[in-house]
Amino acid sequence: MSAFFTYAILTATIASAIQYATPFLLAALGETLGQRSGVLNLGVDGIMLMGAFSCYYVALQTGSDLLGILVGIGVGAVLGLITAFMSVTLRAQQGISGIGVYIFGLGLSDLLFVRFVGTPLPVNPLPAVNIPLLSKIPAVGRMFFQQNLLIYLAFVLVPALAFVLYHTNFGTKVLAVGENPAAADSVGISVTRTRYVTVVLGCTMAGLAGATLLLLDGIFQENLTQSAGFIAVALVYFGAWRPAGVMTGSLLYGVVTAVVLQWKSLGIIPTSAADLAATAPAVITVLALVALAGRFKQPAALGKPYVRGA
Amino acid sequence: MRTKSIWLRGLVTLAAASALVTTVPTSVAPAGAVSPTTTLKVALVAPSAVNDLAFTQSMVAALDSLKTSYHLQISISDNEYVVSDAANLIRQYAASGYNLVIAHGSQYGSILQALAPKFRKVSFAWGTAGSTFRQPNIYAYQANSNEGGYVQGYMAGMLSKSHVIGVIGPIDVGDAQLYVDGFKAGVLAQDPKATVHVSFTGSFSDVSLMASAAKAYVADGADVLTGSSQSVVGAIGIAKADKVAWFGTQWSQASLAPSEVVSSQIYNWAPVLEQIITGIRAGKLGGATYTISLGNNGEKIAFNPKYPLPANVKAAAKKVISEIVDGTLTVAQ
């Protein structure tokens, strides 16, 4: 255990925790936006997988991570349109249609991977970008300011989303549609348009989350996300539908993941207990959810399709 | 005239040979024997892709090398990492008239143990493992990967400047465990003060988890990495991105990171397959375990010509190899 409590290992662990937290954060922020407008999307994991695979395939073929990211985002947006069409236009039961999107993403990404790639070949992970001056600060610089651009972007999106939700006209519409769509409709807010926009933006972020996950290690495999999308949905509840709360939950998850991995790497966790230890992040998230259950009110119209006059 | 005479003699010889073939072999060959010229149907079930640059590719290459000379008809099912799916396939091959079904992975042992008694006329082979489960129709094959591991560990000890080395295995069984143990022993033989971190991901196929472990080791100061199994590609990607040395095993991995891969221990399963096929043709369907090693040319260390390996390190490695081959040095298992 003493090997863990060294300067190098601790800073490396925190830096890793922030990296592991980022895909969850991006996906959960996107899901927050959708849920605040009243749409529950359980297809996040499938969209992340499709975002990850498309990013991987394009990066593998072109050598450009940037192009891969853009395609991953685009695929997320397309799947967002499909999700919105089912949830908003067709008024499908949101939980079921979301699971359908998840299974579709899981199966298609696997099929495309086996058909077009086969053996997983590595692509270049996104390089770290050192923030001038800040990256030189002892310990802090190593942990927070020597990360890749998508990680900085994810954390910038936290205050940005909070600002949009609480200080803009669009945010007011989103909150109104999520709490009382009939009232919003009566004052001329288009429930359909608002929900389409939030769902497509949310799924775009899920696609970006998949691309981010992929580019952390530069490798794709079947079911790469390992249910990260479902954890992201749970983190929205954990964070009480608030961007800062979602970030806290994501960081908690990232820290536990990084610590478990580091302990495994250092042999602190014996091989025989490694599988059990790997469940720790999920277990802790569930425990935190149980502890927080009922303390916060979810958007009143969450999961309910809107029918004018119904 | 001369040509006609040759044709006549040829016909007579052929007729005589045919007569011999139809009268003699049946009286001397054991029951169940397969004639050397009869096509032998071989099925391979493997956990990863045929071009995985590791475990599966090494077996596919060996089968291909013997295909013509041993009259093999080969069917391959790759990427069968789900054991229950693999079990169905193995059963299907066994029931479809295949002479030899190779279940290429330690995770498939229990499947063969259950199936072998139900298909007594079919020969099964699996590895890397030492046990035939006392079944007369199961062969086992293994690799003394600890030998190549030791050689590469010795080089790693010489190359590391940080004296921190990361070793990542899939599951602590079979050749993966042997390689990891041998590598660690090699490092410590050369540099007793080195820190050798070892971990197992718990999966033969989780490339992402292995990449994460590699990343953790690099962050902890490791400047040399190695890993075993078909799931190493992600870890090699990390080695390439962070420019740390990588030692491969099972197949040459130099193409994945030409500037970082120092050398690879390459498996050649052909000697093992030759013994198994010869056994089947003689009517012996199993009950034996065969091993590849540096000594029988089943394993070799392939130095990556693009890696600037110092001459003294290469010379030291060659010396260790020759000591292992001539028995002067024994690598513990």
User: Tens digits of per-residue pLDDT, A107-161?
Assistant: 999 999 988 987 778 898 999 999 999 999 998 998 999 999 999 999 999 999 9
In whole angstroms, give the CA distance from residue B145 to residue B132: 20
Q: With CB atoms and an 8 Å threshold, state whether B172 touches A271.
A: yes
Nearest CB to A118; choose among B49, B212, B241:
B49
In whole angstroms, give the CA distance from residue A171 to residue A163: 8
Nearest CA in chain B to A143: B219
Backbone dihedral angles phi then psi of residue B213, each to the nearest 5 degrees: -65, -40
User: Tens digits of per-residue pLDDT, A192-210?
Assistant: 999 999 999 999 999 999 9
Nearest CB to A267; choose among B48, B197, B219:
B197
Q: What is the pLDDT of residue B4?
A: 42
Q: Which of B86, B87, B88 is nearest to B48 (CA)?
A: B86
Q: What is the pLDDT of residue B1?
A: 38
CB B101 within 8 A of CB B125: yes
- Of A176-180, A304-308, B182-186, which gets the smallest average pLDDT? A304-308
Specify burial of residue B37 (Cβ count, 10 A radius: 0-12, 13-18, 19+).
Answer: exposed
User: Tens digits of per-residue pLDDT, B213-260?
Assistant: 999 999 889 999 999 988 899 999 999 999 999 999 999 999 999 999
On the question of pLDDT at A52 being above 70, the answer is yes
In whole angstroms, give the CA distance from residue B232 to residue B235: 5
Chain A residues interacting with chain B (CB cutoff of 8 angstroms): 8-9, 12, 15-16, 114, 118-125, 127, 217-219, 221, 224, 261-262, 264-267, 271, 274-275, 278
Q: What is the pLDDT of residue B269?
A: 96
In whole angstroms, give the CA distance from residue A109 to residue A46: 8
With helix as H, strand as E and coil as C, how does A188-225 read? Answer: CCCHHHHHHHHHHHHHHHHHHHHHHHHHHHCCCCCCCC
Task: Tell me how close the Cα of A127 comes to any Cα of chain B, in angstroms.
Answer: 8
- Of A23-27, A121-125, B31-35, B321-325, which gets the smallest average pLDDT? B31-35
Three-state secondary-structure class, residue B66 = helix
On the question of pLDDT at B203 being above 80, the answer is yes
Name chain B contacts of A118, Cβ cutoff 8 Å: 49-51, 79
- Of A118-132, A212-226, A275-289, B172-186, which gets the smallest average pLDDT? A275-289
Neighbours of B245 (CB within 10 A): 23
Q: With CB atoms and an 8 Å threshold, state whether B212 touches A261.
A: yes
**B13 part of contact set with chain A, CB < 8 Å:** no
Domain ranges of chain B: 40-144+269-292, 145-266+297-325
In whole angstroms, give the CA distance from residue A18 to residue A15: 5
Q: What percent of chain A has pLDDT over 90?
A: 75
Name chain B contacts of A16, Cβ cutoff 8 Å: 215-216, 219
CB A67 within 8 A of CB A25: no
Average pLDDT across chain A, whole number = 92
- Of A36-50, A223-237, B19-33, B295-309, which gets the smallest average pLDDT? B19-33
Name chain B contacts of A112, Cβ cutoff 8 Å: none
Interface test with B, best of A11, A49, A56, A217 (most B CBs within 10 A): A217
Task: Tell me how close the Cα of A118 comes to any Cα of chain B, in angstroms.
Answer: 6
β-pairing, B261-267 vs B299-303, is antiparallel
Q: What is the pLDDT of residue B15?
A: 45
On the question of pLDDT at B277 being above 90, the answer is yes
Q: What is the pLDDT of residue B19?
A: 40
CB B187 within 8 A of CB B154: yes
B3 versus A104: which is more confidently predicted?
Answer: A104
Interface test with A, best of B85, B200, B215, B240 (most A CBs within 10 A): B215
Which residues make Cβ contacts (< 8 Å) with residue B310, sequence separation at least 6?
A: B158, B159
Best CATH choice for the domain A7-122+135-292 from the list 3.30.160, 1.10.3470, 1.10.150, 1.10.10: 1.10.3470
CB A205 within 8 A of CB A76: yes
B132 versus A272: which is more confidently predicted?
Answer: B132
Helices assigned H by DSSP within chain B = 2-23, 25-28, 55-66, 83-95, 109-115, 145-159, 174-190, 207-219, 233-242, 270-281, 311-325
CB A269 within 8 A of CB A3: no
Q: What is the pLDDT of residue A287?
A: 85
In whole angstroms, give the CA distance from residue B103 to residue B108: 6
pLDDT band at B13 (very low <50, low <70, confident <90, very high): very low
Task: Provide the CATH topology of domain B145-266+297-325.
Answer: Rossmann fold (3.40.50)
CA A158 to chain centre: 12
Interface A:B, Cβ pairs < 8 A: 97
Q: With CB atoms and an 8 Å threshold, state whether A219 touches B213.
A: no
Q: Cα–Cα distances in Å, from A64 out to B98, B149, B238?
A: 46, 36, 17
Beta bridge partners of B140: B126, B289
How much is the average pLDDT of B141-161? 97
Q: What is the pLDDT of residue A104?
A: 97
**B211 part of contact set with chain A, CB < 8 Å:** yes
Best CATH choice for the domain B40-144+269-292 from the list 3.90.550.10, 3.40.50.2300, 3.90.1170.50, 3.50.50.60: 3.40.50.2300
Edge to edge, what strands does the sheet with B138-143 contain?
B72-77, B40-45, B100-104, B123-127, B138-143, B289-292
Name chain A contacts of B52, Cβ cutoff 8 Å: 119
Q: Which of A292, A249, A213, A272 is nearest to A44 (CA)?
A: A213
Q: With CB atoms and an 8 Å threshold, state whether B166 touches A119.
A: no
Interface test with A, best of B197, B207, B217, B242 (most A CBs within 10 A): B207
Q: With CB atoms and an 8 Å threshold, state whether B199 touches A217.
A: no
In whole angstroms, give the CA distance from residue A163 to residue A145: 24
Q: What percent of chain B has pLDDT over 70?
A: 90
Neighbours of A124 (CB within 10 A): 15
Name chain B contacts of A151, Cβ cutoff 8 Å: none
On the question of pLDDT at B306 being above 80, the answer is yes
On the question of pLDDT at B24 being above 60, the answer is no
Q: Which of B298, B152, B308, B306 is nearest to B228 (CA)?
A: B152
In whole angstroms, give the CA distance from residue A102 to residue A225: 11
pLDDT band at A180 (very low <50, low <70, confident <90, very high): very high
Q: What is the pLDDT of residue B28?
A: 43
DSSP-derived secondary structure for B105-172: SGGGHHHHHHHGGG-TTSEEEEES-S--TT-TTEEEEEE-HHHHHHHHHHHHHHH-SSSEEEEEESSS
Name chain A contacts of B79, Cβ cutoff 8 Å: 114, 118
Q: At what angle do helices A280-292 and A243-265 cross, to 10 degrees?
A: 150
How much is the average pLDDT of B282-290? 96
Domain ranges of chain A: 7-122+135-292
Q: What is the pLDDT of residue B30?
A: 53
Nearest CA in chain B to A20: B212
CB A93 within 8 A of CB A83: no
Helices assigned H by DSSP within chain A = 7-36, 44-62, 65-84, 94-116, 140-144, 149-167, 169-179, 181-186, 191-217, 228-238, 243-265, 274-278, 280-292
Q: What is the pLDDT of residue B31?
A: 52
pLDDT band at B23 (very low <50, low <70, confident <90, very high): very low
pLDDT band at B184 (very low <50, low <70, confident <90, very high): very high
In whole angstroms, give the CA distance from residue A110 to residue A122: 17
Name chain B contacts of A7, Cβ cutoff 8 Å: none
On the question of pLDDT at B2 being above 80, the answer is no
User: Tens digits of per-residue pLDDT, B103-146?
Assistant: 999 889 999 999 999 999 999 999 988 899 999 999 999 999 99
Q: What is the pLDDT of residue A220?
A: 93
In whole angstroms, give the CA distance from residue B193 to residue B190: 9
On the question of pLDDT at B172 being above 60, the answer is yes
Task: Tell me how close the Cα of B284 comes to any Cα of chain A, in angstroms.
Answer: 36
